[in-house]
Chains A and B, each alone.
Chain A
């Protein structure tokens, strides 16, 4: 459960920023993948020349840069290419996924093996140790996830940065007229979200329960899951913590459905989707009722 929780939590933190600014960053899956690719690249290049701790820190920074740059591409496409962030993001997701396959089968393939199962796993010295024995997540990952969501909560609730993003999300033109540099803030929102998604990619490469390698579909749908969480939490950062834990539990638990209850594992996704749809429909109906009463 905690295996999925940390990447989902990091993605939630990022999506809260873009969604607040009214930017539907569907390209978050690609940003996770690019984070994982950049982290893998650094770890492959320097695994014999740096001690584990600086190496992991360097890989984390690389993941932040990778995810951030990929998200920046979506922002640039939106602002200067008139490409809606939903379509731009989806396109970039495909490119990032294809790039992974190319790297796994091409320049980063395992010696003597031509398989999509993944790159050569990293040495155990580069694996983050579990927080306590029997728990499949490290203290670093947990702290990273929780710190990210709390910092985003503070930024959105208590800073002018958050207030300006909210103004952009509510009414772009009015925000501009009130003196908000809207383009700059939207790009910053994309970059921050991508950086946090990149961190999630890092946990999928270096985390305690990760496979310690790059492989196709490494993002595992955690970005899309985070979108559901954030929608269900109604863009509330604090509510995203328990909801993401619940959704991570469903995701991981559903894998056992086929084994223990002879049910299809996709039932977990159906439950998550239905839950979000139900909440969105009720929210929509309530808004209509309020508007009609006025």
Chain B
């Protein structure tokens, strides 16, 4: 399906007939705002991974309470990763909470307020991302600080 068709689908609230000119304008606006390398008539499957991710963000409703993501920038180049995180963090300003899962430690530290580490069926206490570094995070991921059958001893 094209970008315009995706926009029409995502923005539909009521009505029977598709407002194609309106959807094309929305697609053009999203292309500009999210710097998607494509045209309103471009097929989504023909876009690169980064541009598909940007399109996905453009399709999200504007006002969300919570956004759950798994590896949101997996497989993307550095520029796309930075750009997508800038857009995601902008969404937190009006109050959207973001919970994401990532195995990229730098990304976790740069983009989070609080981090939870899961190990052997246990979960750590919330760690302040500003007070923890890559080494400490690596140790936790390796199980250090988790007691057998018990809870994590928070250090942060």
Residue numbers of A with Cβ under 8 A of B are 158-161, 163-164, 166-167, 170, 178-180, 294
Interface residues of B (CB under 8 A from A): 1, 5-6, 8-10, 12, 15-18, 20, 46, 59
| B17 engages A180 (CB within 8 Å) | no
Of B9, B15, B16, B46, which one neighbours A167 at CB under 8 angstroms?
Answer: B9
Q: Tell whether, in the assembled complex, residue B8 and residue A163 are in contact, meaning their CB atoms are under 8 Å apart.
A: yes
Q: How far is the CB of B74 from chain A (nearest CB, A)?
A: 17
State whether B18 touches A159 (Cβ < 8 A). yes
Q: Is the CB of A160 within 8 A of B5?
A: no
Complexed CA–CA distance, A179 and B13 (Å): 11
- The 8 Å CB contact of A178, one of B15, B17, B46, B59, is B59
Given A167-B1, A170-B1, are A158 and B9 neighbors across the interface (CB < 8 Å)? no
Q: How far is the CB of B81 from chain A (nearest CB, A)?
A: 22
CB contacts (< 8 Å) of B8 on chain A: these are 160, 163
- Whether A163 and B59, one on each chain, are in contact in the complex, defined by CB atoms closer than 8 angstroms, is no
Q: Is the CB of B18 within 8 A of A158?
A: yes
Contact (Cβ within 8 A) A178 B18: no
Residue from B1, B6, B10, B17 in contact with A159 in the complex, judged by beta carbons closer than 8 Å: B17
Partner of A160, one of B1, B18, B59: B18
Chain A nearest CB, measured from B27 CB (Å): 14
Complex A-B, nearest 6 residue pairs according to Cβ-Cβ distance, in ascending order? A160-B12, A158-B17, A178-B9, A159-B17, A170-B1, A159-B16
B residues near A163, Cβ cutoff 8 Å: 5, 8-9, 12, 18
